[in-house]
Amino acid sequence: MRPCKPGFRVCTPNSAPPLSLYRQPPRLQSSLHTGPVRPTGPVARSRLPSPSCSLWAGSTWSPAGATYSASTSRSLCLRWAVPSGRRCGSSSSKSSRRWNDRQRGDQFARAAKVQGLKSRAAFKLLQINDRYRLFKPGMTVVDLGFAPGSWSQVAVDLTKPRGRVLGIDLLPVQPPKGVSTIQGDFLSPDVQAEIKSFLRDPERGRPRLPLPSGDPTTAVADGHIDQSLLLDSETGYIERERRDTADEEGEASNAAEVHTDHLDKSVDVVLSDMLMNTSGNAFRDHAGSMDLCRAALRFSYDTLKVGGHFVCKFYQGIEDKALEKSLKAMFHKVHREKPESSRSESKEAYFVGIKRLAKVDKEAVFAE
């Protein structure tokens, strides 16, 4: 094989992707980071020095001569390096050309690009919110399967200035401005424990209040400036980390005296845009979406406060009636939605649970 340019990584049988590529420990990211979030291991932007054939694949190991690159479609793009002297056809397949043509003719895709949104999916959540008014300023929102981040963008905008949004996804993604993220498999108990630990601190992930200026209208009612704001602004990063660590240790030592159930139920809205990679088998795709919806519902049972809301995407099929029944045992009202921005040929739909009930029968919600 012709050697690649410096900086390229070729995965051969002797340099197969490590298992940690697919099962990484939870990692907390923040939009405060100035640099891009780069994948670990052999995942990198691949620039082949010659024409290449492309093949889409899931989380599978590649044979010799393959390089990996991150893809915004939540899968891995497997590109075959072309040996010297060997010609190959065009890398653009018929399906990718159809996708590009559809995107160019899609009014929501064009509008998302103009408005700086991560994807057209933002309009689905906006249309759901226009009907049910899910968001209010200051809310805590958890976005499951947040990549590429369009739903999180909407949540940040509708809960500002003091709302907090936490996104969770298996893929390493640069978070939108104002969004805290945890990278990891949501189905992992360790990742869910990390999420709950993050949520227990009511101030963690919230934007800091701006310091009062010399303008008297920005001072507090009695004419005095809150000195804690000034002290916090003058505290260095390392010192703040030490203080936060000490606070966490103190909380751990007093855990027996704290009612953790009340602390865990601190979320106002749980969003689930999770979906498994489609297989082409309608029943398999539907069953996979039901599993993810139930996992999101179980998380909501543990973390959603009374009166909180729940939105989850699913593939329509024979089991969605059972899921709807479970939702009705936990929420005051349950609606099935197909937003205008959702393509008519797609089998996706959304369940919207309005106002969690004060008393919920767990067995009724999770009955087999």
* pLDDT one-digit tens code per residue, 4-61: 444 434 333 344 444 343 344 455 554 444 344 444 444 344 333 433 333 333 333 3
**β-sheet bridge partners, residue 353:** 310, 334
Other C-beta atoms within 10 Å of 310: how many? 27
One domain for residues 124 and 195:
yes
Q: Pick the residue with more confidence: 305 or 77?
A: 305
| Helices and strands, number each (H, E), in the chain | 11, 11
One domain for residues 116 and 85:
no
One domain for residues 227 and 285:
no
CB 198 within 8 A of CB 204: yes
One domain for residues 168 and 270:
yes
Q: Pick the residue with more confidence: 81 or 141?
A: 141
CA pair distance 259, 237, nearest whole angstrom: 31
Segment 337-358 mean pLDDT: 90
- Is residue 279 pLDDT above 80, yes or no? yes
One domain for residues 196 and 277:
yes
Tally of domains within the chain: 3
**136 counts as catalytic:** no
One domain for residues 113 and 98:
no
Q: Pick the residue with more confidence: 71 or 244?
A: 244
Which pair of tokens denotes residue 320? 């969605």
One domain for residues 114 and 239:
no
One domain for residues 70 and 132:
no
Catalytic residue among 94, 305, 313, 321: 313
pLDDT averaged over every residue in the chain: 73
Q: Which domain holds residue 359?
A: 108-207+266-365
CA pair distance 301, 296, nearest whole angstrom: 9
One domain for residues 9 and 25:
yes
Phi/psi at 42 (5° precision): -80, 0
One domain for residues 305 and 357:
yes
One domain for residues 28 and 99:
yes
CA pair distance 124, 176, nearest whole angstrom: 18
What pLDDT is attached to residue 111?
Answer: 80
Does an H or E element contain 165, and which? strand 164-169
Q: Pick the residue with more confidence: 109 or 169?
A: 169
Segment 291-312 mean pLDDT: 97
Q: Give the residue carrying structure tokens 């973390």.
A: 303
CA pair distance 221, 35, nearest whole angstrom: 40
Three-state secondary structure call for residue 80:
strand
Phi/psi at 126 (5° precision): -60, -40
Lowest mean pLDDT among 35-44, 68-77, 109-118: 68-77
Measured torsion, CA atoms of residues 95, 97, 99, 103, in degrees rounded to the nearest 10: -170
What pLDDT is attached to residue 130?
Answer: 96
Q: Which domain-ending residue is among 56, 78, 105? A: 105
pTM of the predicted structure, to 2 decimals: 0.63
What pLDDT is attached to residue 208?
Answer: 83
Q: Which domain-ending residue is among 59, 80, 105? A: 105
Q: Which domain-ending residue is among 79, 105, 131? A: 105
One domain for residues 199 and 226:
no
CA pair distance 264, 267, nearest whole angstrom: 8
Q: Give the residue carrying structure tokens 């899609």.
A: 106
Q: In what order do the strands lie in the sheet with 267-272?
A: 27-30, 179-183, 164-169, 140-144, 267-272, 304-315, 348-356, 331-337
